[in-house]
Amino acid sequence: MKISRKRFIKALSITGFLGGVNFPYTILAADAGNAGIKEKKSKGLTVLFQGDSITDGNRTRNNDWNHVMGHGYAYLVASRLWFDYISEDLMFYNRGVSGDKIKNLDDRWKEDTLDLHPDVLSILIGVNDVSQIIKNENSIENWKKTYINVLEKTKDALPDTQIALCEPFVLPYNWDEEKTELFHEVISKMQKIVKQLAEKYNAVFIELQQPFKDACKKVPASYWVWDGIHPMPAGHELIARLWIKAMKKRLNFIEE
């Protein structure tokens, strides 16, 4: 059950609850099939960002509104849509956790995802799992199995939730040749899996690897990511723009 803006702010001031702001908006529910959000609900559209440090963005875990969405692409998406669509009653949450692997997401899925009842769920995960897979401490098959488990739990509990699956990515960095080759090999397999899962679960696939490669034709990779993995400010802006562009097909209020 969604609470009113007045009740939400009151609860926030009392409990220090971490979340977003409620504004007047008529929400749209998922149409059967692959259509976007169309049927009216009573109130509000809740968007949840899940993932690792790229999503976390050094967010606060309290009601500090200066940092509540972190300092990355989730913040940029939320701030832009909050500003451009004041009447849409948008609510944004960031529950990315630095260092998380897919198993960590699975372990905390009920509290940090299902209990928030998001209308839109965005997931970016995978890069922290790579080293484990390279060291044979995990397998790509088990990674896929756990990712499927996360999506199955979401579909069972929240069948109308629109899902966005962001492609894990990596850019050239000053690693040794063997590490670079192994890292790219695993990431490439993850990218294929995520795209397949997006098709299977009728999710929006947000391609990131090729857009980052294309961006590197303009300036070196270090302009977009500072260590091959974590984006620079311009890299986060790139992800935010790609996210909004891809989600236009499901979020009908977003204008061209």
pLDDT for residue 7: 37
- Sign, CA dihedral 161-164-118-250, equals negative
Residue 8 has pLDDT above 90, yes or no: no
Segment 77-98 shows an average pLDDT of: 96
Using an 8 Å Cβ cutoff, are 206 and 165 in contact? yes
pLDDT for residue 47: 97
**Percentage of residues in the chain with pLDDT exceeding 90?**
77
Residue 80 has pLDDT above 60, yes or no: yes
CATH number of 5-247: 3.40.50.1110
- Per residue in 176-208, pLDDT (tens digit) is 999 999 999 999 999 999 999 999 999 999 999
Residue 10 pLDDT level (bands cut at 50, 70, 90): very low
Residue 223 has pLDDT above 50, yes or no: yes
Q: What's the CA angle centered on 225, arms 220 and 231, to 5 degrees?
A: 145
Where would I find the H helices in the chain? 5-15, 53-56, 73-84, 102-107, 109-112, 130-134, 140-157, 177-200, 209-215, 233-247
Residue 105's closest CA among 119, 125, 121, 85?
Answer: 125
Segment 58-76 shows an average pLDDT of: 94
Residue 235's closest CA among 48, 76, 124?
Answer: 76
Residues facing 28 on adjacent strands:
40
pLDDT for residue 14: 32
Give the residue with greater pLDDT, 24 vs 145: 145
- Per residue in 129-152, pLDDT (tens digit) is 999 999 999 999 999 999 999 999
* Whole-number Å distance between alpha carbons of 158 and 119: 8
Supply the DSSP string of 2-60, one letter for each residue: PPPHHHHHHHHHHH--------S---EEEPSSS--EEEE-SS-EEEEEEESHHHHTT--
The overall average pLDDT reported for the chain is 86
pLDDT for residue 256: 72
Q: Give me the residue spans of the domains in the chain.
A: 5-247
pLDDT for residue 63: 82
Q: Which amino acid is at 232?
A: M
- Sign, CA dihedral 91-205-229-145, equals positive
pTM of the predicted model as reported, rounded to 2 decimal places: 0.84
Segment 77-93 shows an average pLDDT of: 95
Residue 44 pLDDT level (bands cut at 50, 70, 90): confident
Segment 204-225 shows an average pLDDT of: 97
